[in-house]
Amino acid sequence: MNRRTAVVLFAVVVSVLGASRTSWSQTPNLAPGFSGLPKGAKVVMMPADIEIYSISAGGVPEPRADWTEAGQRNFKSIVTRRQGTLGLSMTQLAEKDADDFAEISALHTAIARAIAVHHFGPGSLNLPTKDGKLDWSLGDSTQALKKATGADYAVFSWVRDSHASAERQAAMVAIAVLSLGRAVPRGGRQTAYASLVELDTGRILWFNRLSRESGNIKDEADAEETVESLFKAFPVVK
């Protein structure tokens, strides 16, 4: 190997290692260039989109209105209590005004699902155009929300819980016995998304998601853990 070739190879190695360090140091939950909210930032908390299901003996998810109402009540109460620890000047959008921004909430849900798949999912599903960065936006549709609320940022959240009914649990025990003790799924799941959105631009500045076979927001004690996990590492005011 001649001197010139050695120098070129050294430069390539340094470049690769530098890129790797940049990749490792990048926080996947934050948009490029964003690290925290400025002091005095006004934040509006959008009503959480929550639905809770009971899984029948046959494995069919069935909506439970009473569980959903309890989950919504618990989620709102816990987030309200936690505002002080997040250092936020936050208001909550009134339920009566939620319908006016239903399209924005639906858009957030669609984009949140895409982020969960293409940013936090298997590497094979990553989008080359994103270069591994949290680079997503709701577009200028959020400006109407800014005008109506006077807020600079909005927090969107979406939760789906499912729990095995008593009949489903009995069926699972029977399946486990017939399967000679092999592990059988519990029959329930929790999936949740939360985003911090800049209303001027529509950029998603922070995002987190839960996807697990545990979690229960219909019970107040367990709901605390769900909210804590979902808003872990939320970018507090600096």
Q: What is the domain-level CATH number for residue 63?
A: 3.30.160
- 140 Cβ partners below 8 Å, 6+ apart? 201, 202
Tell me if 9 is assigned to some domain: no
Q: Tokens standing for 31?
A: 């948009």
Residue 152 confidence (pLDDT) above 50: yes
What's the pLDDT band for 44 if we cut at 50, 70, 90? very high
Q: What is the DSSP string of 43-106?
A: EEEPPPEEEEEEE-TTS-EEE-HHHHHHHHHHHHHHHHHHHHHHT-EEEE--HHHHGGGHHHHH
Q: Which tokens sit at 206?
A: 């922070």
115 in a domain, yes or no? yes
- Count of other CB atoms within 10 angstroms of residue 174: 12
pLDDT score, position 4: 47
pLDDT confidence of 168, banded at 50, 70, 90?
Answer: low
Q: What is the pLDDT of residue 82?
A: 81
Classify residue 210: in a domain, yes or no.
yes
Q: Of 169 and 219, which is predicted with more confidence?
A: 219
* pLDDT tens digit sequence for 5-19: 443 343 333 333 343
Distance of CA 46 to the CA centre of its chain: 14
Has residue 136 been placed in a domain?
Answer: yes
Q: Which two tokens stand for residue 55?
A: 């899984």
Q: How does residue 113 score in pLDDT terms, banded at 50, 70 and 90? A: very high
Q: Residue 60: which pLDDT band, with cuts at 50, 70 and 90? A: confident
Domain residue limits at 148:
30-230
Q: Which two tokens stand for residue 234?
A: 């939320």
Residue 1 lies in a domain: no
82-100 mean pLDDT: 79
In a domain, 134, yes or no: yes
In a domain, 7, yes or no: no
- Which has more pLDDT, 115 or 221? 115
Q: Domain total for the chain?
A: 1
How far is Cα 136 from Cα 205, in angstroms, rounded to an integer?
8
- 238 belongs to a structural domain: no
At residue 200, the 3 state secondary structure works out as coil
pLDDT digits (tens, 9 = 90+) for 27-36: 899 999 999 8
Could you give the CA distance from residue 76 to residue 68 in angstroms, rounded to a whole number?
12
